[in-house]
Amino acid sequence: MGEAATGLVAQLVDELERKLLFGDIIPGDKLPAQRAMAQGFGVSRATVREAVFTLESRGLVETFHGGGSVCCNLLESGYPEPEVKEGGGSRELQQQVMEMREMLEGEAAYFAARRATPAQREALSLEYARMRERGSGETTLRKAKADLTFHMLIAESSHHLLVVSLSQVLYTRYFNVIYAVLSRTLRKTGRYPPGIGAQHEEIYRAVLAGEAERARRAAREHIAYTRQQLSA
């Protein structure tokens, strides 16, 4: 391992991560006690704690007060109940991400309505039809992904490098935040919010009709609606 990890914590993290990934410690197993690890590795407990915390923030382990740290099952996360605490960020961040989406998707729709190529219009139609077809019977995760695919298609149709760039950054880097918002809404209302379908249709129609202002308004309203569910 040619690693030249700088810092004791980083070295410890590498060491433990290897053990975890290599299966010396399998999901459900408990990690050694912090005091034991400190002595074993010849470092202070504070260092061990930071290392364990790093692993926790990466989702590799879970720590219980008085109960030790346990290796996680990596596939269990992302299940229907993602337990928003780590995955979704603070309420405030969720709010800000949605505000950003509101402005961004409004502009994306605006430009898409004016500049989408025939091929892009067709792709959008296809995606919209597919989205509409399956409707329910999908996991929240798949719904969120389908939703972002739809909006990303519109962003791409804007033929606006900066809009596309920002969309990519937002949709990938903050996917878990967006997902958490949708997930939270679903858990509260019990089902897919009734307005969403109609809103998607309105955006879709406006873009295809080439009515830019209407598309912008529709897109903004769509996000505003979702955002509103959040604060309610």
Partner DNA sequence: CTGGCGAAGTGGTCTGACCAAGCATGGGGG
Partner DNA sequence: CCCCCATGCTTGGTCAGACCACTTCGCCAG
Question: Which spans of this chain sit near a second copy (rule: CB under 8 A)?
Answer: 14, 17-18, 21-22, 46, 49-50, 53-54, 57-58, 74-75, 78-80, 89-90, 92-93, 96-97, 99-100, 103-104, 106-107, 111, 160-163, 165-166, 168-169, 172-173
Place of tokens 């960020």: 89
Supply 94's token pair.
Answer: 């969720």
Residue choice 14, 15, 17, 50 for contact with DNA (CB under 7 A):
50
Pick what 162 binds: a second copy, DNA, none; C-beta below 5 to 8 Å, kind-dependent.
a second copy
Q: Are 215 and 115 in contact (CB under 8 A)?
A: no
Rounded Cα gap, residues 231 and 148, in angstroms: 21
Tell me which amino acid residue 201 is.
Answer: E
Asked whether the beta carbons of 124 and 207 are under 8 A apart, the reply is yes
Give the x/- contact pattern for DNA in 57-76, rule: CB under 7 A: ------xxxxxxx-------
Q: Nearer Cβ to DNA, position 8 or 166? A: 8
The answer to whether residues 212 and 111 touch, using CB atoms and an 8 Å cutoff, is yes
DSSP one-letter code for 83: -
Q: Is 55 in the site for DNA (CB under 7 A)?
A: no
Interface positions with DNA (CB under 7 A): 7-10, 31, 33-36, 38, 42-47, 49-50, 63-69
